[in-house]
């Protein structure tokens, strides 16, 4: 083989190697870019999911704050009204009780779309007792003072007092669900919740 031919072969191999190197470099760069874009997309999706999760938690927390506050306010207003009637006051009015009832009902309607099944189950027991207490209280409000009326008011007071422990259980479950606490307390036991109250006065 002549020197000229060898030079041509070497030149062809050199050019081929250079071209192949450029192609390989381009392929590797393209793969690296695809990997980078995939990683960025994964990060974006994770951030979007985290934002959506945070929004859900915020919505749930706001719902639970309102539900807890309105249940307690409704109970407290009825209790104060029952004691006022029991003391024989003729100036007691049902306006505040009815306002508290409306606010609690509206909050429950929102909670039924947002709250967990477990919270709704426990809160429904409390609501059942609040509803029963309201019914007893409104009957007592239009009755004249008598031993029967005082007995009905005592029944309302006992019923409203019996709600307090269950409200504590619901509050702890709410705190757990929104991440305020990492575990439920040892004393948490929804099975100890009061049963549905359907007794007629």
Measured distance CA(76)–CA(70) in Å, rounded: 10
Q: What value does the mean pLDDT take over residues 87-92?
A: 73
Cα(58)–Cα(66) distance, integer angstroms: 12
| Cα(60)–Cα(68) distance, integer angstroms | 12
Tell whether the model's pLDDT for residue 154 goes beyond 50. yes
Read off the tokens for 132.
């029963």
SS (H, E, C) 5-72: HHHHHHHHHHHHHHHHHHHHHHHHHHHHHHHHHHHHHHHHHHHHHHHHHHHHHHHHHHHHHHHHHHHH
Q: Which 8-state DSSP code applies to residue 175?
A: H
What pTM was computed for the model? 0.73
Q: What percent of the chain has pLDDT over 70?
A: 85
Does residue 196 register a pLDDT over 60?
no
Domain boundaries, the chain: 60-192
15 pLDDT more than 70: no
Each residue of 21-74: pLDDT tens digit? 777 788 788 888 888 888 888 888 888 888 888 888 899 999 999 999 999 999
Residue with tokens 């007893």: 136
- The hierarchical CATH code for the domain 60-192 is 1.20.120
Q: What is the mean pLDDT of the chain?
A: 86
Q: What is the mean pLDDT of residues 90-106?
A: 88
pLDDT given at position 195: 46
């Amino acid at each position: 083989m002549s020197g000229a031919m060898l030079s041509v072969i070497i030149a062809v191999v050199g050019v081929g190697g250079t071209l192949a190197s450029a192609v390989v470099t381009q392929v590797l760069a393209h793969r690296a870019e695809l990997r980078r874009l995939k990683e960025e997309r994964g990060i974006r999706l994770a951030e979007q999911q985290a934002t959506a999760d945070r929004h859900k938690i915020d919505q749930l927390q706001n719902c639970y704050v309102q539900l807890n506050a309105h249940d307690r306010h409704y109970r407290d207003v009825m209790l104060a009204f029952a004691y006022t009637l029991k003391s024989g006051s003729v100036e007691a009015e049902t306006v505040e009780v009815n306002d508290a009832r409306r606010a609690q009902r509206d909050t429950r309607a929102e909670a039924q779309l947002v709250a967990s099944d477990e919270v709704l189950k426990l809160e429904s027991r409390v609501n059942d007792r609040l509803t029963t207490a309201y019914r007893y209280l409104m009957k007592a409000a239009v009755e004249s003072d008598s031993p029967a009326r005082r007995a009905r008011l005592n029944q309302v007071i006992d019923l409203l007092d019996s709600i307090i422990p269950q409200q504590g259980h619901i509050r702890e479950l709410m705190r757990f669900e929104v991440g305020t606490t990492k575990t439920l307390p040892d004393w948490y036991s929804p099975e100890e919740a009061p049963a549905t109250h359907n007794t007629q006065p």
